[in-house]
Amino acid sequence: MECVIDTNVIINEMIEDAELHDSAVNGLEKIKRILIPTVVVEELVYALKNLSISDEIIKNKIEELLKTDNIEIISINSLNFQEATKLIIKHKVSFKRFNDKLILSVAKIGQIPLFTFDRDLMAQCRKENVEVFS
């Protein structure tokens, strides 16, 4: 199966003492084709900096994502921006949540399940008939 991955899954997989590390590792092992929107890679970099992770480790993590055979980095295109903007208006939320909507739009447009630990994003998936991977 293929699946769109949210930033929190990658962080939980990467950090061994994260609360959901085992769930992230076990979940990712079940996915044949892992799709990572470019916005997730950006979020990952800023989140790791926020957690005071060194630049060297961040660089190595990005290289790992780029080189792993079953991982595909998905570009955000005009359809995703249109859909994400519609969802912002529809759900009456701030554009501060635009990244979440972009990630959701990749799953929604491609009709692909989304793997996330973010409960808000899970709820949005259900509203938009996007399957949540668990």
Partner 1 sequence: MVKTTIMLEDQLYKQLVNEALEEYGSTRKLSLLINRKLKQSGRLKKQGKITKVRIKLGRKLSEKEIENAVENGWNGAVKWNV
The answer to whether residue 82 forms part of the interface with partner 1 (CB under 8 A) is no
**Number of C-alpha atoms within 13 angstroms, CB side, residue 24?**
20
The answer to whether residue 93 forms part of the interface with partner 1 (CB under 8 A) is no
DSSP H/E element including 64: helix 55-67
Q: Which of 32, 78, 96, 129 binds partner 1 (CB under 8 A)?
A: 96
Judged by CB under 8 A, the stretch of 50-58, 77-85, 104-112, 124-132 that binds partner 1 is 50-58
Hey, what amino acid is at 89?
Answer: I
The answer to whether residue 78 forms part of the interface with partner 1 (CB under 8 A) is no
Residue 99 in contact with residue 85, Cβ under 8 Å? no
Burial of 16 (0-12, 13-18, 19+ CB in 10 A): exposed
The answer to whether residue 41 forms part of the interface with partner 1 (CB under 8 A) is no
Give residues in contact with partner 1 (CB under 8 A).
7-8, 11-20, 42-43, 45-51, 53, 57, 60-61, 64, 66-69, 72-73, 94, 96, 99, 117-118
